[in-house]
Structure 1
Amino acid sequence: MSTTILLTSFQTWLPDHKSNASDDLLLKIQQESNPFPEQAISLAYLRQLPVDVFPASDLAIAEIEHLQPDVVICCGMAESRSRLTVEAGATPLYLVAQVYWLVYYIVLQKIFSFKGLSYYLSAFLGNKINIQTHFLNTSVDLEELLQGLTETEISYDAGKFVCEGLYYQVLSYLRDYSPTTGCIFVHVPLLTPENLSTILTDFRLIISRIAVWAMIQRQNQIRQTTTAA
């Protein structure tokens, strides 16, 4: 059985950006004819999401509902970092920096997702946000996933901006509607001729290993269902 993996990336958001490193990386993988010849992996792409939590989350969740992937790998650019970083989880603290997006979303958008908005409002309207309580962890074992990789490390700070917002909303959605689907967020540094080869190698290994992780999850679920029956 093939493992379906949805990969997402962002558009640029500053005038001096010619491209977004997350999208550059996905394009490199997409251009390869058969990056995983020894595995049954089906890659689907949702590239160049808008740099805006609300529509980006709506688009990602709609694609997840349509595609029903085994794994979601969200990618974003981190200019200040020099290596790939995989985020351990996300908090709703991006809302502090995104209040104006909430106003924009409610006032100016004619159509929006009430399902997505429910997550934002529940976090935003709380009397006090306890970071530990609201930190949503990925269900993927990152220590095992990244073992031995030379250009990748675990991060515990997803950025408090659109990247963290998207990650938090996707994790929230999967927790409520598809708990067996895995999700990680990968921050991508600026790609250069010097780092491109090693980053591509690590990213391919991340995809390959998370596909194995998803296969094990499916097997465990089948085993549990059979035992329960």
Structure 2
Amino acid sequence: MEDLVETPIPNGQRVVKKSAGTPILITSFRPWKAHQGMNTSDVLVQQVRDSLPSNTMALRWLPVNFDLAPIRVISHMVQYRPKVVICCGMAETRKTLTVEQWGTHGQHQLSTPVDLQVLIRQTVHTRISYDAGDFVCNRLYYRVLQHLAGQAEQQTAVLFVHVPLITTANQAVLEFDFLKIVEYLNGIG
């Protein structure tokens, strides 16, 4: 596998680019609470980076901001036209990886085009969630899905994955399941 080339961009964010081809874009957030020295979404992406497909780009340390996070992700989607977008966020109270069925805004829901029932059959301990929360994760997911809904010519598989706290007891299964999710989406995207 090729060595990663990291390109600095504003606000401490980095885009990690690998070899040519239609990319997979994976995003992660920076920590947002004082007691969090890390965000598990970013930790997981870092832990599996050497096992990701060569067409993977990671947009790391998104700001925990309702407007800036979607703007940054959508701008990278417009620039790189990925076939798969996997947005990742931290869910401290969950015990497993969870894949989100939809993002919501007010009374509106937008659903992922990915068949989550088929997707989780590839994993060991990942669950489907029907509640992406009321915070930046949900807003990012909704805005990315909204952007794609207006792009008839772009066929992109989009998914939001919530990552629990990572421990020595769950690390291996989280990594395995996340890589299975990426593998599945890379195959259908």
| Kept after mapping to 2: 8 A contact 1:4/1:70 | yes
Give the structure with higher Rg (CA).
1
Per the TM alignment, residue 35 of structure 1 is displaced from its structure 2 partner at its CA by: 4.0
Per the TM alignment, residue 2 of structure 1 is displaced from its structure 2 partner at its CA by 4.3
Shift of 1:29: 1.9
* RMSD between superposed Cα atoms in Å: 1.5
User: 2:47 is matched with which residue: 19, 25, 28?
Assistant: 28
| TM-score of the pair, normalised by structure 1 | 0.71
What is the match of residue 156 of structure 1? 130
Which blocks of at least 5 consecutive residues in structure 2 are unaligned?
Answer: 1-19
Question: Once the two structures are superposed, what CA deviation does each residue of 1:78-112 show, in whole Å capped at 9, x if it has no partner?
Answer: 0000000000011104xxxxxxxxxxxxxxxxxxx
Among candidates 112, 121, 132, match of residue 138 of structure 1 = 112
Q: For residues 118-146 of structure 1, give each alpha carbon's deviation from its aligned partner in whole angstroms, at most 9, with x where no partner exists.
A: xxxxxxxxxxxxx3xx2100001111111
Residue 35 to residue 46, structure 1, CA distance change in 2 (3 Å): closer
Match of 2:126, as an amino acid? T
Between the two proteins, the alignment pairs up a number of residues equal to: 169
For 2:151, the equivalent position in structure 1 comes to: 177
**Is contact 2:122-2:184 (8 Å) kept?**
no
Note if contact 1:87-1:158 (Cα within 8 Å) is conserved in structure 2: yes
> Is residue 192 from structure 1 mapped to residue 170 from structure 2 by the alignment?
no
> Out of 68, 79, 82, which is 1:55 matched to?
68
Structure 1 residue 149, shift from structure 2 partner: 1.9
Match in the other structure for 1:211: 186
Measure the CA separation in 2 of the matches of 1:35 and 1:139.
Answer: 22
**Cα deviation 1:19-73 (Å, max 9, x = unaligned):** 000000111122x1x444xxxx500010010001101111011110111000100
| 2:86 counterpart of 1:73 | yes
Is the Cα–Cα contact under 8 Å of residues 6 and 44 in structure 1 kept in the other structure? Answer: yes
Q: Is the 2:82–2:156 Cα contact (8 Å) retained in structure 1?
A: yes
Mapping for residues 83-162 of structure 1, pairs under 5 Å: 83-93=96-106, 131=107, 134-162=108-136
Q: Specify every segment of 5 or more residues in structure 1 that has no aligned partner in the other structure, as ranges.
A: 94-130, 215-229
- Does 2:36 align with 1:17? yes
Aligned structure 1 segments of 4 or more residues deviating by more than 2 angstroms: none
1:64 aligns with 2:52: no
Q: Give the letter aligned to residue 45 of structure 1.
A: A
Aligned sequence identity (%): 41
In 2, distance between residues paired with 1:209 and 1:148? 8
Query: Which has more strand, going by share of residues?
Result: 2
Is the 2:28–2:89 Cα contact (8 Å) retained in structure 1?
yes
Secondary structure of the corresponding residue to residue 168 of structure 2: coil
